[in-house]
Structure 1
Amino acid sequence: MKILLVEDSDDKREQIIDFVKKTIPNISINFKISYQSGLEEIMENDYDFVILDMSMPIYDRNDNNVKEHIHIFAGWDILDRMNQSMIETKVVVITQYDIFQGEHGFFTLEDLDRKFKDSYDNYLSAICFSQLNWKHELKDILINMQNELKNYSN
């Protein structure tokens, strides 16, 4: 299975990568750290599964101490661009926050989860990273994805 993780937080990214590798041995997992680099990677390469953060910088960090602009709904906009480009790769959102306010309005994570399930066929679920059960939720999704890929290849 080939997975892309789009996540700007070093600690969260490392925890997710470690957990995914322990859960599904022999996988390929790449990562990107911003809206722009994640979107480019999705548009240019094929993945079996994408794990998206919701809020992240627009561009990769630079070393010039320039303040990064955080795009509150970056994950939503990536999902939207995938939909417009007819990219059907399955997506799960993992975020540290359960409330969002920005250019799209005010939403709870549950609101976004319902909206995404109604709007995007490739969207699977939203997971709150700050809750203790995030690993259990992600494990279930990963195992289901792995089984779907095995069934598809047979």
Structure 2
Amino acid sequence: MSSALDFLDNNEPNFIILDMSLPTYEISDTESGGRPQGFGGLEILRYLKMSGLNCPTLVLTGYEAFMREEGIVELSQISEELNNEFGVFLKDVLYYNSAYSEWKNKISLILKNVGIY
């Protein structure tokens, strides 16, 4: 996650595809990257907002629900919360499942809408 923040300090990408679960620290010859942090992607979104980087961003996740202190939260609720907080640059929150192609079609449409594809 820290390398993503370092990159954003020096660059403004045209588009970001962001996973919600990110390693807590960098992978190297001596480090495994730590446990994935369930809402690590949220830290990246907050950094984008705080920095004023309005880079079109798509959250793509393989999880249909996330664990919070209050219990399991469905992806639809997470999506609504993220859109409320980051709607200026957040284009969508998609569930990735290799068995289906709907997510691919949605990504294509989003890329066309932002002028990339």
What is the TM-score when the length of structure 1 is the normalising length?
0.66
- The 1:72–1:40 alpha-carbon spacing in structure 2 relative to 1, beyond 3 Å, is same
- The 1:71–1:142 alpha-carbon spacing in structure 2 relative to 1, beyond 3 Å, is same
Residue of 117, 122, 126 corresponding to 2:83: 117
Shift of residue 104 of structure 1? 8.7
Any idea what SS the aligned residue of 1:146 has?
coil
- In structure 2, the residue matched to 1:22 is none
- The 1:105–1:92 alpha-carbon spacing in structure 2 relative to 1, beyond 3 Å, is farther
Residue of 38, 61, 64 corresponding to 1:72: 38
Shift of residue 107 of structure 1? 2.3
- In structure 2, the residue matched to 1:146 is 115
What is the TM-score when the length of structure 2 is the normalising length?
0.84
Q: Does 1:135 align with 2:81?
A: no
- The 1:66–1:38 alpha-carbon spacing in structure 2 relative to 1, beyond 3 Å, is closer
- The 1:61–1:67 alpha-carbon spacing in structure 2 relative to 1, beyond 3 Å, is closer
Are 1:54 and 1:75, in contact at CA under 8 Å, matched by a contact in 2?
yes
Moved more, 127-136 or 87-96: 127-136
How many residues of Structure 1 are paired with residues of Structure 2 in the alignment? 113
Are 2:24 and 2:33, in contact at CA under 8 Å, matched by a contact in 1?
no
Are 1:73 and 1:104, in contact at CA under 8 Å, matched by a contact in 2?
no
Q: Name the aligned partner's letter for residue 40 of structure 2.
A: A
Separation in 1 of the partners of 2:113 and 2:65?
Answer: 28
- Superposed CA RMSD in Å reads 2.1
Consecutive unaligned residues in structure 2, runs of 5 or more: none
Q: Name the aligned partner's letter for residue 79 of structure 2.
A: D
Q: Which runs of structure 2 are paired with 1:1-154 in the superposition (5 Å)?
A: 35-64=1-30, 66=32, 68-102=34-68, 106-120=72-86, 121-130=88-97, 132=100, 133-146=102-115
Separation in 2 of the partners of 1:80 and 1:113?
Answer: 15
Q: Name the aligned partner's letter for residue 127 of structure 1.
A: L
Separation in 2 of the partners of 1:70 and 1:146?
Answer: 32
Shift of residue 65 of structure 1? 5.8
More helix by share: 1
Consecutive unaligned residues in structure 1, runs of 5 or more: 1-34, 148-154
